[in-house]
Amino acid sequence: MSNAKAYSAASATSPLASDTIERRDLTEQDVQIEILFCGVCHSDLHMVRNEWSVAPTVYPIVPGHEIVGRITQVGSAVTKFKPGDLAGVGCMVDSDGTCPQCKAGLEQFCPNMTLTYNSPDKHLDGVTYGGYSDSIVVDQRFVLRVPSNLDLAGVAPLLCAGITTYSPLRHHGVTKGKKVGVVGLGGLGHMGVKFAHALGAHVIVFTTSPDKKEDALRLGADEVVVSRNLDEMQQHVNSFDFILDTVAANHDINAYLNLLRLDGNITLVGAPPKPLEVAAFSLIMGRRNLSGSNIGGIAETQEMLDFCGEHNITADVEVIPIQQVNEAYDRLLKSDVKYRFSIDMASLKSE
């Protein structure tokens, strides 16, 4: 076992603060990663504050599942990586490998998946600790290769926000000639716009904020619709092949269902706190589909990273030192960031 510097929270009301945690010794299949950057995901905030009853938080908690770093050591049976390689770790660090989902490359739906943090740790007595730390040890099966041409601070959020938006776009066949909508222009939405544009689709952003139009166009949108403007919405009825809904607040899903063409699909990746009311006729009249999506499997996440390398895609980030993470959480609640925070973990060295 070895010690690692980290930031943890001791309770739902405690701020994140400097801590020392234990990392396991390498097994023959493990790699050790020096963490260079870790993205801040909204789910980090929810977990730190124990706001999800379906996944009660075990304290102390070390969050962080958007990890980019450099491999410093490998186990004796590791074949995929060597010391010095750039590597990424996303939302999961293990699965059973035997269930139908794992065999299909859909580890994110494994009933025995191990999350990167706050998940029972089969190697140590306790739960897994995440990327708000200077190092991590992970099974090579759950480590990703990071393209060397990309800015590492902007790569970190790809491991969650990136794959969360890339996966449904690919699954539902978004390509050149498709008309695609992106609802919301936040941490998820801005990645959805970049990916849909790079895939060749005609991209339309839906936002409640007219002042986001210029930025949406900069990110790759072809058009911007202010969703509160009924005339603008009406112009697009029955016309979309696919809509990616990234909004985590309560909203009228039927307004977007009615924009889908025959057999069109709208996929939820945002998670509103209350159930959305769906009008049956919004689905029936166009044989429309309402679905959801959750990150992606390891192979698809690697595909996404390679795609980003080819198209020079990263998240738009504000880089912060770890000492500002509590302030970042407060700003996250106010949507006061364009579009993700990325923690420079070199700042931990001063702790």
Mean pLDDT within 238-255? 96
What is the model's pLDDT at position 53? 83
16-63 pLDDT, tens digit per residue, is 999 999 999 999 999 999 999 999 999 999 999 999 888 899 999 999
Task: Name the 3-class secondary structure at 289.
Answer: strand
What string of H, E and C letters represents the secondary structure of 48-99?
HCCCCCCCCCCCCECCCCCEEEEEEEECCCCCCCCCCCEEEECCEEECCCCC
268-324 pLDDT, tens digit per residue, is 999 898 999 999 999 999 999 999 999 999 999 999 999 999 999 999 999 999 999
Mean pLDDT within 66-77? 98
Topology (CATH) of 165-292: Rossmann fold (3.40.50)
143-179 pLDDT, tens digit per residue, is 999 999 999 999 999 999 999 999 999 999 999 999 9
At 262, the pLDDT band (50, 70, 90 cuts) reads: very high
At 119, the pLDDT band (50, 70, 90 cuts) reads: very high
What's the CA angle centered on 327, arms 131 and 138, to 5 degrees? 0
Beta strands at 135-139 and 114-115: parallel, antiparallel or unpaired: unpaired
What is the model's pLDDT at position 54? 84
CB 233 within 8 A of CB 255: yes
Please name the residue that has the structure tokens 């480590």.
143
What is the model's pLDDT at position 177? 95
10 Å Cβ neighbour count for 245?
Answer: 27
Of residues 232, 272, 244, 123, the one with CA closest to residue 184: 244
User: Which pTM was predicted?
Assistant: 0.96
Quote the radius of gyration of the chain (alpha carbons, Å).
20
Peptide bond into 60 cis (omega under 30): yes
Q: Which pair of structure tokens corresponds to residue 130? A: 């995440």
CA pair distance 217, 223, nearest whole angstrom: 7
Superfamily of domain 2-160+296-350 in CATH is Medium-chain alcohol dehydrogenases, catalytic domain (3.90.180.10)
Q: Where are the domains of the chain?
A: 2-160+296-350, 165-292
CA pair distance 325, 212, nearest whole angstrom: 26
